[in-house]
Structure formats: structure tokens, C-alpha cells
């Protein structure tokens, strides 16, 4: 017989029928005896080249026969055959026939692990682990190979976890790998191989549970691997990438500044060593010939990570050299691998940070261009897709705040929503992405008055806050932005519960704020604005006093931080003007003028905030009886095309009212007319009807005031026109919509349009 395969398959079916179903007859029937004899003959005839499965099948057949009907001959044959297998293929050998010297079992288990393929029988992996576990019980503590046996067992646990997902295997792997390291006996493998096994085990457990103690272990082992690698070892850059990543992970979770500093030190050492000229060293990295692609990729990853680390540290300490270095490093990363999204994303963030300090629009434009470029080739499901969208959304929002282009704001909202939908629930960037979207929605609500934007902002704020533990470092920013959203909604619909919740949230944000937080002035500004808004509703003096104190703190802390300083200056001017109305203290008014002027001067033409600060300055001038100066700045506010319509309407109305009180009818008519013409812009057709009605309620009577001034100034026809414009905003929009729809229908379906026109004419015909 030349082919043993049919015999092996038939006998294995008989063995399996007994083991699975207890079928004994198949082991002893005449056909079985014939197959055993033929396979034995084949085995003897091919003794030098017999396949392992032939020996294994015969051994198992005699072994199970002996279990059913003990016959010493079957046992002797089984023992002889398994003896041929036990040292080379221990995974195929029952425990009863293994080497009686258990100190040899760990070696056998290691051989099984070495030979296991991805599609290997899981039972073989279990056998390898069993051999290592039971054999280690017999290996003396001082055995020179004990550490290697423990490391092999840890690797076996890791393999089994990767296949079956049993968390207990990870615990066993971590403990066994630690025990292996503690033996101090690494044979000729070296300690780093043992540390690598421990790192793999802890890394998997950290991914499973996200426990801080596992992160601490990861940092310890990554630090040891970094410190023991030679300066000229090509693996050095990989060790630096790993250590930097876990240090930054712990920094994000604990805000431990030493972790960030250590990450920066490691990154710099791996990139430029002990050289002092950063630019020259980076240029050398950029221009070096492309060698090992993995090493080059690791260097680019390290460059991007270094840029991110420097940007984060700049945000904490404000050291200009950190931001400058971050931009240089990120540029090198982009130049080396422009197709890798992390590089453009990191550079976009750093440039946006520099724009916020230096105000160069070119930085913001490049930030947006880079953020868009980073999205090329990305799609939902890619790990970096949500991050890229979040960066783009934030840069677009800042460009809106700088230029006032509503298309930027609309894109910031839509992109922010997409980013939030593509970031995992436990992604550390998710909270800040939600805050950015909330801010964009608030800004759009201010511009357009859409109540649904405010409702969405409040919901985002509450959801984000609910997901954070009590001491999470992002709780203050979530509380503060939720407070602003609630106060915006209170000012729109006048629900006192929104105001009270906003005050509580803003106060809590200030109370739990890290005293070294570089943005703490923004939290005090938020508290000031919210207390002042509630004061306007309740008239409680303690709210006004608290608002003034918080505003002064915000201005003092802002320093050169222009955006926050600008808002705080305007807020302080408003509060002082309100207090003057209560106390008539001239010092308050003088101080209010000073702060209002500073706010206007800090707002270049085109900035969407300029119209509001001009309106504010006019109010202060009016309180000082400088009516001509007030009208002049209100006129400028009306002409600021990028400001929110509400601010410009307020300025136009104030202009008209002030001129009317002085009987300057032409000027009053012009001011009121400007206000009436802006109302359709505020209550535009893009927002829902309920929001339109809320907005129009604020300007009731404006058309009548405009018409009254026009009567005095002439001609009379203009008065009627202004009156109708002020009263019929929504009706006019409906007519415009009807005309637009009719024209569209004539183009798309002329026959239907003609039939409808006939019906309309019949309905219009008098009875």
C-alpha cells in the first residue's frame, strides 16, 4: 500500500466516535482490525519517512482500545509510539505518556509555541501552556533557564488571549512577565526581550480596561527600554515614539506636567541628540537619503508628536520658543510625508495658535488649507478622520470671528457635527470638539437668531458634561460653555431656570478651575457676563457686584490674549455703565468710556464684534450727554457690514431715538430707516417661523417710530413706506416666496402653472 491517508482518516473517525459519542464497536470490528494491520504494515515499510499523523493515529487507536478493553499489548504499543512523539511533538502526546522528567516539559512547551501557526489547533496552544505551567513547578528557583520559561509562558498567555479573549490570560501574562524579569536571568536573550513581552501584555490589558496603574507600568517599561538602547541603534527612534506616546497619554488623563516635559525631552533626544542647533539638525533629518522606510516613518511620527507636545506646552506656559519650534518641527514632518494626515493636522493647530497671538491672517488661512489637505483620502471610519474635521471646524470658526463671513460659520457647524459623529466616545478630543461645535452654534444663533441652534448648543453642553467624571480636567470648559449657551437661550426666551442654571454652572467652573490654567480669564469673563445678564432681569445688586468683580479679574488676567481681553473690556464697560445708571457715579462712566474705546480700537474693520462695541461706546457717550459723538459711532456701527444684525439694528434705533429727542428729524429718519431695512436681515427666511416671531417681538413699534420721524422730515410717502416695511416683514417674505415658487413652476411645469393661474383668476373674480 502506498497511500496511508484513507486509513488514517477512517481510523480517526473511529477514535473520534468513541471520544465524542462513546461508540466502542468501531474500535474492534473486523474492518477496524484490518485497517490497523494495514497501517502498521505501512508504518514498518516506511520507517524512515513515515508521517507524524500515521504514528499519532496508531498510538491513539491502541490507547483508546486499552481504555475500553485493557490489553497489555495495546498499552505497550501505545506507549512505544507516544514515546517517539513526546519530545518532538509533545502537543500530540497525552499527559500519561509525557517525559517523566517534568523539568523538561517547559522546553517541550516552548517548542510547541514556536511551531504554532495562525490556524493551529487551539488545543495545541493549551497543551503548550499546560506543559510550561506544570513543568515550572518542578524547575528550581535558581535554574538559569527559569526566567526564559516564565517569559515563554507569558507569551503563551498573550497568544491565547489574542485568540480567545479571556481576560484572565492577560492577568497571567502580566504577572508571569514581571516574575520573569525579577529572576534577573535572561540567558543569552537580554533583558530587553523580557521587557518587550511585559510591554505587550500590559499594553493589551490597558487597551481592555484603561486602568491608570497599567499605564504607569507601560511608562516604566517603555522608559527602561528607551534608556537601555544605544544611541546608534536604529531601534532608538521606535523606543522614543513608544515612550512619548504613553507619557502623553498619561498627561492627557492626569495633567501631570512632568510627563509632558519628559515626552519633549525624549523626542528631542531621539531626533537631534545632544546637538544645540535645532534647525540644522532637523534639516539634516529632512534631507537624509531614504533608507529603511519604517525608520523614516517613525521619525516622521516622532516629529509630528514633538510638534504636538510643544504646542500643548505652549498653551500651558506661553513660552514663544515652544510655539516657534512646534511650527518648524511640524513643517519638516509635512515636507517628509505630506500624505500622512497627522503632520498637516499638527501644523494646522500650531499655526492657528500663532494666529490667535500674533493676528496674522496668513497663519489662519494656511491652517485651514492644511486641515483640508489632511482630509484628502480620509473617510468615515479612519482613525484620524474625526480629528481632521475637528481641527478644520475650529479654524473655520476663528476665521469667521476674524472676517465675519457666515459661510465659514455654517461650514464650522456642519464640519463640527461630522467630527463629533466620527470621534469615539472615549476619545480625549471629543469633549473639546463638542465645545467648539457649541461655540459655533452660539455664534450662529447670535447672527441669525435661530432658536434651534441654541437648543442644540445646550444639549451638546449637557451631554458632554454628563460624560465626564467629577475631577476631569475638561469639566471647567464644559461648564463654562454650557453656562453661556443657557444664558443665550435665557436672553431669547426669558426662562428664568436657564439663567439660574447658567449662573450655577459658571460659578462651579471658576471654583474648580486649575489656578495655573492659562485660559482662566475666559472663565471669569463668562461668569461676569452671566451675572450681569441675570441682574438685568432681577435687579439684584449682588449679581451686579459679582459681575463687576469677575470682569475686572478677567481683564487683569487676560494680558495680551486679545480675544478674551477684548470681550472682557466690553463686558466691563457695560457693567460700569449699568452701575452708573444706579449710582450716578461719574467715575464709573469715565472708566466705562475708557474700556469701550479700548474694545473698539482692538477690533479692526471687518471683525464681527466691532458693530457691538461701537454700539456700546455710543451708549456710554449718550450717558455722558455727548449725543453727537454717540450718533457718530452708532452710524459707524450700522455701516459695519459683518456685525450681527441685532447689534446694528440696536445702533440704528438708538441713533434714530437720540436724534428725534433733539428734533433732528432728517437724522432720526435716516437712523430709523436703517433699522427698519435691517429687520428682514435679522428675521431672514432661513430660520423657522417661531424664531422669526421671537426676533421681531424685540423690534415692535420700530416701523411706527420710523414713520413718525419721516412725517416730520418728509416726504409723506416715505412715512407710509417705512410703516409698511416695519409691520409686514413676514408677510412680505411670504409674497416673495410665492413669486419665486410661481416663477419656478412656470419653468418646470408650464401647463400646470397655467391651470393654477386660471383657478386663481376664478377665485379672485368678484361674486
* 317-332 pLDDT tens trace: 888 999 999 999 999 9
Identify whether residues 530 and 612 lie together within a single domain: yes
The CATH number given to whatever domain includes residue 376 is 1.25.40
Give the separation between CA 26 and CA 245, rounded to whole angstroms: 61
Q: What is the DSSP letter of 29?
A: S
CA 485-491-496 angle, to 5 degrees, is 90
Output the pLDDT for position 561.
55
Same-domain status, 579 and 614: yes
Mean pLDDT of the region 294-315: 93
* Closest to 345 in 3D by CA, of 332, 361, 358, 334: 334
In a domain, residue 2? The reply is no
Residue 622 lies in a domain: yes
CA distance 32 to 105: 34
pLDDT score of 413: 97
Question: Phi/psi at 231 (nearest 5 deg)?
Answer: -60, -30
CA distance 302 to 237: 8
Flag whether pLDDT at 535 surpasses 80: yes
556 with 638, same domain? yes
**CB of 199 closer than 8 Å to CB of 170:** no
Structural domain of 260: 231-340
CB neighbours (10 Å) of residue 647? 24
Nearest CA-CA partner of 623 in 569, 551, 550, 573: 573
663 and 522 in one domain?
yes
pLDDT value at position 191? 95
Residue 395: phi, psi to the nearest 5? -65, -40
Backbone angles phi, psi at 410, to 5 degrees: -60, -40
Confidence of residue 471 (pLDDT cuts 50, 70, 90): confident
What span, in angstroms and rounded, lies between the C-alpha atoms of 410 and 412?
5
**Residue 696: what pLDDT?**
47
Residues 511 and 634 in one domain: yes
Query: How would you classify residue 69: left for phi > 0, otherwise alpha for psi between -120 and 50, otherwise beta?
Result: beta
Shared-domain flag, residues 561 and 611: yes
pTM tops 0.85: no
Q: How far apart are CA 122 and CA 137, in angstroms?
A: 23
Neighbouring CB atoms inside 10 A of 641's CB total 11
Instruction: Give how many domains the chain has, as a whole number.
Output: 4
172 occurs within a structural domain: no
Counting Cα atoms < 13 Å in the Cβ hemisphere of 398 gives: 27
Would you state the pLDDT for residue 686?
43
> Where in 529-603 does DSSP place strands (E)?
none
Whether residue 726 lies inside any domain: the answer is no
Percentage of the chain surpassing pLDDT 90? 45
Q: Is residue 281 part of a domain?
A: yes
- Say if 198 falls within a structural domain: no
Q: Retrieve residue 457's grid coordinates.
A: 448648543
Identify whether residues 634 and 498 lie together within a single domain.
yes
Is residue 418 domain-shared with residue 511, that is, in the same domain? no
Residues 399 and 495 in one domain: no
81 vs 54: CA distance, rounded Å: 10
Give 739-758 pLDDT, tens digit per residue: 444 566 566 777 776 776 67
Alpha-carbon distances, residue 358 vs 351, 355, 396, 626 (angstroms): 10, 5, 17, 35
Average pLDDT, the chain: 86
pLDDT one-digit tens code per residue, 614-635: 998 998 899 888 999 999 999 9
| Chain segment 629-670, per-residue pLDDT in tens | 999 999 998 888 766 788 888 898 899 889 889 889 888 888
Same domain for 460 and 480, yes or no, is no
- List the one residue out of 699, 667, 668, 666 whose CA is nearest residue 681: 699
Asked, for residue 372, whether it belongs to a domain, the answer is yes
For residue 515, give the C-alpha cell: 489656578
Question: Do 501 and 623 belong together in one domain?
Answer: yes
Q: Are residues 549 and 653 in the same domain?
A: yes
- Does residue 145 lie in a domain region? no
Residue that terminates a domain, selected from 340, 356, 373: 340
Which band of pLDDT confidence, cut at 50, 70 and 90, is reported for residue 703? confident
- Distance (Å, rounded) from C-alpha 173 to C-alpha 185? 18
**pLDDT score, position 723:** 67
Amino acid at each position: 500500500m502506498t497511500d496511508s491517508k484513507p486509513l488514517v482518516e477512517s481510523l480517526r473517525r473511529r477514535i473520534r466516535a468513541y471520544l465524542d459519542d462513546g461508540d466502542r464497536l468501531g474500535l474492534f470490528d473486523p474492518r477496524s482490525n484490518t485497517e490497523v494491520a494495514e497501517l502498521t504494515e505501512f508504518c514498518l515499510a516506511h520507517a524512515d519517512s513515515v508521517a507524524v499523523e500515521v504514528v499519532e493515529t496508531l498510538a491513539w487507536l491502541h490507547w483508546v482500545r486499552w481504555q475500553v478493553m485493557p490489553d497489555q499489548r495495546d498499552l505497550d504499543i501505545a506507549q512505544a509510539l507516544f514515546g517517539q512523539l513526546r519530545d518532538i511533538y509533545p502537543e500530540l502526546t497525552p499527559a500519561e505518556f509525557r517525559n517523566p522528567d517534568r523539568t523538561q516539559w517547559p522546553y517541550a512547551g516552548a517548542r510547541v509555541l514556536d511551531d504554532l501557526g495562525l490556524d493551529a489547533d487551539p488545543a495545541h496552544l493549551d497543551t503548550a501552556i499546560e506543559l510550561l505551567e506544570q513543568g515550572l513547578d518542578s524547575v528550581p528557583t535558581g535554574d538559569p533557564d527559569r526566567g526564559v520559561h516564565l517569559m515563554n509562558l507569558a507569551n503563551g498567555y498573550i497568544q491565547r488571549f489574542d485568540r480567545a479573549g479571556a481576560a484572565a490570560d492577560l492577568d497571567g501574562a502580566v504577572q508571569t512577565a514581571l516574575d520573569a524579569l525579577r529572576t534577573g536571568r535572561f540567558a543569552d536573550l537580554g533583558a530587553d526581550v523580557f521587557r518587550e513581552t511585559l510591554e505587550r501584555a500590559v499594553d493589551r490589558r490597558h487597551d481592555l480596561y484603561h486602568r491608570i496603574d497599567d499605564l504607569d507600568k507601560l511608562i516604566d517599561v517603555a522608559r527602561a527600554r528607551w534608556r537601555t538602547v544605544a544611541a546608534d541603534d536604529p531601534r532608538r527612534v521606535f523606543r522614543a515614539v513608544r515612550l512619548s506616546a504613553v507619557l502623553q497619554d498619561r498627561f492627557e488623563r492626569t495633567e501631570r506636567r512632568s510627563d509632558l516635559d519628559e515626552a519633549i525631552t525624549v523626542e528631542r533626544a531621539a531626533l537631534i541628540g545632544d546637538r544645540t542647533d535645532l534647525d540644522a539638525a532637523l534639516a539634516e533629518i529632512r534631507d537624509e537619503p531614504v533608507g529603511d522606510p519604517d525608520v523614516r516613518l517613525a521619525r516622521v511620527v516622532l516629529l509630528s508628536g514633538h510638534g504636538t507636545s510643544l504646542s500643548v506646552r505652549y498653551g500651558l506656559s506661553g513660552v514663544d520658543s515652544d510655539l516657534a519650534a512646534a511650527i518648524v518641527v511640524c513643517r519638516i514632518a509635512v515636507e517628509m510625508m505630506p500624505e500622512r494626515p497627522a503632520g498637516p493636522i499638527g501644523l494646522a493647530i500650531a499655526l492657528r495658535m500663532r494666529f490667535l497671538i500674533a493676528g496674522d491672517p496668513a497663519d489662519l488661512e494656511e491652517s485651514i488649507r492644511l486641515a483640508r489637505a489632511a482630509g484628502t483620502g480620509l473617510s468615515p471610519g479612519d482613525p484620524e478622520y474625526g480629528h481632521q474635521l475637528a481641527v478644520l471646524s475650529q479654524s473655520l470658526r476663528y476665521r469667521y470671528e476674524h472676517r465675519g463671513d457666515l459661510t465659514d460659520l455654517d461650514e464650522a457647524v456642519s464640519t463640527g457635527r461630522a467630527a463629533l459623529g466620527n470621534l469615539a466616545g472615549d476619545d480625549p478630543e471629543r469633549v473639546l470638539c463638542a465645545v467648539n461645535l457649541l461655540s459655533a452654534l452660539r455664534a450662529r444663533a447670535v447672527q441669525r437668531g435661530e432658536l434651534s441652534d441654541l437648543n442644540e448648543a445646550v444639549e451638546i453642553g449637557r451631554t458632554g458634561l454628563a460624560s465626564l467624571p467629577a475631577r476631569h480636567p475638561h469639566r471647567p470648559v464644559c461648564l463654562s460653555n454650557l453656562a453661556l449657551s443657557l444664558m443665550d437661550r435665557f436672553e431669547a426666551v426669558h426662562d428664568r431656570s436657564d439663567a439660574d442654571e447658567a449662573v450655577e454652572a459658571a460659578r462651579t467652573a471658576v471654583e474648580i478651575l486649575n489656578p495655573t490654567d492659562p485660559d482662566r480669564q475666559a472663565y471669569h469673563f463668562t461668569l461676569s457676563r452671566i451675572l450681569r445678564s441675570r441682574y438685568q432681569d432681577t435687579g439684584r445688586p449682588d449679581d451686579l457686584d459679582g459681575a463687576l468683580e469677575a470682569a475686572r479679574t478677567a481683564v487683569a488676567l487676560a494680558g495680551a490674549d486679545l480675544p478674551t481681553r477684548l470681550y472682557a473690556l466690553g463686558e466691563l464697560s457695560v457693567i460700569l455703565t449699568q452701575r452708573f445708571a444706579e449710582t450716578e457715579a461719574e467715575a464709573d462712566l469715565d472708566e466705562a468710556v475708557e474700556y469701550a474705546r479700548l474694545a473698539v480700537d482692538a477690533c479692526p474693520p471687518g471683525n464681527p464684534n466691532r458693530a457691538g462695541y461701537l454700539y456700546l461706546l455710543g451708549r456710554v457717550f449718550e450717558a455722558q450727554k455727548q449725543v453727537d459723538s454717540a450718533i457718530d459711532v452708532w452710524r459707524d456701527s450700522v455701516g459695519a457690514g459683518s456685525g450681527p444684525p441685532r447689534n446694528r439694528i440696536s445702533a440704528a434705533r438708538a441713533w434714530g431715538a437720540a436724534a428725534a429727542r433733539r428734533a433732528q428729524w432728517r437724522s432720526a429718519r435716516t437712523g430709523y430707516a436703517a433699522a427698519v431695512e435691517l429687520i428682514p436681515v435679522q428675521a431672514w427666511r432661513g430660520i423657522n417661523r417661531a424664531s422669526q416671531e421671537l426676533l421681531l417681538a424685540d423690534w415692535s413699534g420700530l416701523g411706527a417710530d420710523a414713520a413718525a420721524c419721516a412725517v416730520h422730515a418728509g416726504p409723506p410717502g416715505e412715512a407710509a413706506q417705512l410703516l409698511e416695511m416695519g409691520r409686514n416683514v413676514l408677510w412680505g417674505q411670504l409674497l416673495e416666496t410665492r413669486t419665486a415658487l410661481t416663477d419656478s413652476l412656470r419653468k418646470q411645469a408650464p401647463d400646470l402653472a397655467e391651470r393654477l393661474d386660471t383657478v386663481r383668476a376664478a377665485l379672485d373674480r368678484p361674486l
